[in-house]
Amino acid sequence: MPPLGVMLAAAALALLGACSPAEPATYEPTYGSTPAAPLTTTEILFAVHPLHNPRRLFEVYQPLVDLINERIWPTYHMRLETSRDYATFEQKLAAGKFQFAIPNPYQTLVSESHGYRIIGKMGSDQRFRGIILVRRDSGELPIAALKGAPISFPAPTALAATMMPRMFLHQHGLDVADIDARYVGSQESSIMNVLLGKTIAGGTWPPPWEAFQHRRPMLARQLMVRWETDPLVNNGLVVQDGVSHDLTSKISDIIFHLHETPRGRSIIEAMEIDRFDPASAKTFEPVRQFVADYEATFGRRP
Amino acid sequence: MIEGPLKGLLPAASIRRKLVVGVAFVHLLLMTFFVFDLVHRQRDFLWDELTQRTLHHAEVLAISASSWVLSDDLAGMEEVVEGSSRGSDVRYALLTDPGGRILAHTDRDKIGLYLTDKISLDAISGARQARVYHQDVNSVHAIAPIIVADHLIGWSMLSVDKVATTAHLAYVTRTGILYTLAAIAIGTLFAVLLARSILGQLRYLLAGVDNLQNNILDIPVPVVSNDEVGRVAKAFNRAVASLAESRAQLTSEIAERRRVESSLRALSQRQVSLIEDERKRIARDLHDELGQALSGMQFCLKSLQAQEGMSQHDDTCTKLTGQVERMGVAIHRIANDLRPATLDHLGLIPAIKAFVADQQPFVGDSVQINFDAAGFKRRLPPEVEMIAYRIVQEGLSNAIKHAHARQVDILLTVNHPALIVTIRDDGIGFDAAEQTRNGSSAFAGIGLLGMQERAGTIGGKVEIKARKEHGTVLRAELPYAEEHANGDAHTDC
């Protein structure tokens, strides 16, 4: 073979050698029905109704869960579980998935029929009111202007953000049939629908609106609170009937004394309340009355 | 630079082969480096891109799934996992809780199970950051933490197949090799065409050089290209044309010089001949006229002395008779010097012998003169004999008068078609080179120019070799024509 051919062959082999095919071994993870390290703690679930999107809710309420975990570890481990919408939350609540939960006042009442007991409520009832947002450029919009126009609400059972604003509109002149309610799943979604002009107005309540103003001030400036409802009893704190008295006592004790320590106060400040208070079914009697009136006006939920 | 390696690869190869192999070799070398580098860069890039893509994929999956994980929404997580594996080379994607329980998996049968292998467990117990936690030749495995509010709520894990990348690399390699071969083929073809272009003109040039070597100056080299070689061919043609012109001029000048030299030689020969004739005439007249007159005077004086009554004039007559005899001898010697009659009547050898014999009384025993001759079968042409005689005459005189020689050897050798005259002495000699450098007239003094002039009249030459204190050798080569040599034969030459 001439020298040129030898060199050519050598170069080709070098090139091929540089990109030699891979060896056959390929890693695959293996799975088993039991964890590699056996669980030694009992997990308890803590849920909050979707008054924020899941991430925001986690940011606000996980510090409380962390604090509780510090006190109940290693016997128990509390995990915060969010829900993307009211319907999901209510399904889980109805299924008895959570050991502890903070439903809205209406769900608090409903939870009693699903094996939960009311042990407390959020303070700052004055903040538990509905607000109706409109675009700032729509001016002094009269309620009559909402007649037949789409209005966004988070979910049918959102007491402050849906039920109370709907009742407000009805009490101020709109017939039930004139209210074109659009349920958009979450508080933020209700706000964004107004912002984007998909709905003429949107129902929500102060904490998510303030959070929106804080996170998206440029957008928030395009909106304004046009109407506010009267306040009602704030969200409840319920515990599943099967949870031991000791655990319930320990956890409720932590929650009701949050406002007494700096760390606790920072936790409840993030929740935009001043404290948690012990409560019972009787505490929510005004809510029960409101719901009755509401259902009488708008009909029972299916 | 290439000459060295090529010299080793292609000993004694033609320019064409050197050019072709050189170009092919350069292409091979450069393209090999290029393709090798390209493949490596491509491989590094693709591996890096695949790794980054896998990592990014895992991170996106973690971010997308965070809300679903927070909500423990298995259906939502499943949607996210399926979405992440759609339309790509994802081998599997999964979500786990911090303890390794499968929350969602592209293989739904794995949901609810736990990761049990060491690699996976090490990964989920490692740092809370997105990373490639395993990589083999066929797959890349990345993991990303699902973190909300600085809390680890799970992991996304993703594996991407490398097969497509490997196949692409193989394709790049094959393409690179094909490009290399194509580059070599194109380069070689170009080199062949280039060699043909250059060497075509060079072949014509080589033919021109052959013609030049064979003194063929009237056939110009065809100029078939306008490049540097073509310009060389044009320059070669101009040089050859100039050479031809110069040669013609030189030939003409040589012919003219030869003609002039011939004329000069003829003139010189005629002059010498005239001189010799004149000397011969004078010698004859001296011998015939004055010799007769002196003989008559001597007879008259002897007659007068024999008469009676003249006794008182006897002494006077005796003195006059003696003077007349001496005058006769002198006249005979002068005549002989002018033209030795022996040369004309007996030939060269007797003439030189006589001359040597005449010189012996003057030098006595202080100088030994040896004469020898060889090769003489017949007499040589008269002019050759006369010139040889004069050279011997002059050479011997120089050896005696100037060289202060104590021995002089004269040798005449007939070596047809020339007579060689050699005169060797053991005298004081001289430095011929120095004499020449200093423009000394020593040569003239020793009559070399005269000897050369005489020899030149018949086309001969005279050389002198001398060294200081080591004697002198005079060598004359006198050519003669055969027909002249066929002249009078003489037993004594």
Measure in Å the smallest separation between the Cα of B70 and chain A Cα atoms: 5
ipTM above 0.85, yes or no: no
Cross-chain Cβ contact B114/A34 below 8 Å: yes
Indicate the average pLDDT of chain A.
89
Averaged pLDDT, A132-159: 92
Name the burial class of residue B100, with classes exposed (0-12), middle (13-18) and buried (19+) by CB atoms within 10 angstroms of its CB: buried
Task: Give the strand pairing for A116-122 and A236-240.
Answer: antiparallel
pLDDT mean across residues, chain B: 85
Among residues of chain A, what percentage have pLDDT more than 70?
91
pLDDT beyond 60 at B48: yes
Structure-token pair, residue B76: 């939502």
Q: What is the pLDDT of residues B65-112, one digit of tens each?
A: 998 998 888 888 999 998 888 766 889 999 999 989 999 999 999 999
Q: What is the dihedral of CA B109, B112, B116, B120, to 10 degrees?
A: 90
Which pLDDT belongs to residue A131?
96
Query: Taking CB atoms and an 8 Å limit, are B151 and A58 in contact across chains?
Result: yes
Q: Is the pLDDT of residue B491 over 50?
A: no
Whether residues A34 and B66 touch (CB distance < 8 A) is answered with no
DSSP-assigned letters across all residues of B432-461:
HHHHHHTT-THHHHTTHHHHHHHHHTTT-E
For testing contact with chain B, the best of A4, A7, A31 (most B CBs within 10 A): A31
Which band of pLDDT confidence, cut at 50, 70 and 90, is reported for residue B489? very low
CB contact under 8 A, A29 and B157: yes
Residues of A in contact with B103 (CB under 8 A): none
Q: Is the pLDDT of residue A24 over 50?
A: yes
For residues A221 and B336, give the distance between their C-alpha atoms in angstroms, rounded to a whole number: 155
User: Nearest Cα to B74, choosing from B95, B93, B92, B90?
Assistant: B95
Please tell me the predicted confidence (pLDDT) of residue B493: 45
- Flag whether pLDDT at B492 surpasses 50: no
**A14 interfaces chain B, CB cutoff of 8 Å:** yes
* Average pLDDT of the residues in B14-38: 85
Tell me whether B119 touches chain A (CB under 8 Å). Answer: yes
Residues of B within 8 A of A36 (CB-CB) are 100, 114-116, 121
Does residue B429 come out as left (phi exceeding 0), alpha (psi in the -120 to 50 range) or beta? left
B172 to chain A: nearest residue by CA?
A19
**How much of chain B is helix, strand and coil, in % rounded to 5?**
60, 15, 20
Q: Nearest C-alpha of chain A: how many angstroms from B135?
A: 8
Alpha-carbon span B79 to B84, nearest angstrom: 9
Higher pLDDT, B227 or A5: B227
User: pLDDT exceeding 70 applies to what percent of chain B?
Assistant: 91
Contact A27 B139 (CB under 8 A): yes
| Cβ within 8 Å, pair B73-A84 | yes
Instruction: Tell me the CB-side half-sphere exposure of residue A245, using CA atoms within 13 A.
Output: 0
Q: Which helix (H) or strand (E) holds B241?
A: helix B228-285
Instruction: Look at residue B425 and give its three-state secondary structure.
Output: strand
Calculate helix-pair angle for B228-285, B448-456, nearest 10 degrees: 100
Distance CA A103, CA A95 (A): 14
Pair B474, B423: CB distance under 8 Å: yes
Is the confidence at residue B167, as pLDDT, over 90?
A: no
Closest residue to B136, CB basis, from A26, A57, A80: A26
Give the three-class secondary structure for B192: helix
The confidence score (pLDDT) of residue B436 equals: 62
Report the SS3 class of residue A175: coil
> Could you tell me which residues come within 8 angstroms of residue B386 by beta carbon, excluding any fewer than 6 positions away?
B276, B343
pLDDT digits (tens, 9 = 90+) for A65-102: 999 999 998 899 999 999 888 888 999 999 999 999 99
Gap between the Cα atoms of B57 and B84, Å rounded: 7
DSSP assignment of B358-384: HHHHHHTTS-EEEEEEES-SSPPPHHH
CA distance A47 to A44: 10
Q: What is the mean pLDDT of residues A295-299?
A: 91
Q: Where are the alpha helices (DSSP H) in B307-367?
A: 314-338, 341-345, 348-363
Helix or strand holding residue B254 (H, E): helix B228-285
Are A36 and B113 inside 8 Å of each other by CB? no
| Distance separating alpha carbons of residues A273 and A267, to the nearest angstrom | 9
The position carrying tokens 């006794």 is B311
Give the helix/strand (H/E) hosting A233.
none
Nearest of B337, B347, B359 to residue B384 by alpha carbon: B347
**Residues B277-336: tens digit of each pLDDT:** 888 888 888 878 888 888 888 888 888 877 777 777 778 888 888 888 888 888 887 887
Which residues numbered 139-168 in B keep a CB inside 8 Å of some CB on A? 139, 141, 148-149, 151, 153, 157, 159, 162, 166
CB atoms within 10 A of CB A31: 20
Q: Within a 13 Å sphere around the CA of B278, how many CA atoms are in the beta-carbon half?
A: 6
pLDDT of residue A10: 62
B107 touches B92 (CB < 8 A): yes
* 3-class secondary structure per residue, A87-116: HHHHHHHHCCCCCEEECCHHHHHHHHHHCE
Residue with tokens 């940011």: A59
> Is B307 near chain A, with CB under 8 Å?
no
Query: Is residue A268 scored above 90 in pLDDT?
Result: yes
Report how many Cβ contacts below 8 Å link chain A to chain B.
133
Q: Look at B25 and A23 and tell me if their CB atoms are within 8 Å.
A: no
Output the pTM of the full model: 0.57
Give the closest of B40, B115, B138 to A18, CB-based. Answer: B40
pLDDT in tens, B346-367: 889 999 998 888 888 888 888 8
DSSP characters over B108-168: GGGTT-EE-SHHHHHHHTS-SS-EEEEE-SSEEEEEEEEEETTEEEEEEEEEEE-HHHHHH
At residue B197 the predicted structure's pLDDT band, cuts being 50, 70 and 90, is confident
| Contact between A15 and B113 using a beta-carbon 8 Å cutoff | no
| Interhelix angle A164-171/A285-298, nearest 10 degrees | 60
**Is B138:B161 a contact under the CB 8 Å cutoff?**
yes
* Cα A202 → chain centroid: 18
Q: Do B28 and A11 touch (CB under 8 A)?
A: yes
CA distance A84 to A79: 16
Burial of B491 (0-12, 13-18, 19+ CB in 10 A): exposed
- Say whether residue B308 is in contact with chain A using an 8 A CB cutoff: no
Considering only residues 38 to 67 of chain A, which have any Cβ-Cβ distance to chain B shorter than 8 Å?
39, 53-55, 57-59, 62-63, 66
Which one of B24, B134, B173 has the shortest CB-CB distance to A16?
Answer: B173
Question: Confidence class of residue B482 from pLDDT cuts 50, 70 and 90?
Answer: low
Interface test with A, best of B66, B116, B140 (most A CBs within 10 A): B116
Which residues in A lie closer than 8 A to residue B74 (C-beta atoms)? none
Cβ separation of A33 and B113 shorter than 8 Å?
yes
> Does A20 contact chain B (CB < 8 Å)?
no
Greater confidence (A263 vs B227) lies with A263
pLDDT in tens, B178-192: 988 898 898 889 888
User: Residue A273: helix, strand or coil by DSSP?
Assistant: coil
Please give the pLDDT value at position B314.
79
What stretch of H or E contains A260?
Answer: none
Interface probe with B: pick from A39, A46, A57, A58, most Cβ of B within 10 Å: A58
Overall average pLDDT of the A161-178 stretch: 93
Average pLDDT over residues B123-135: 92
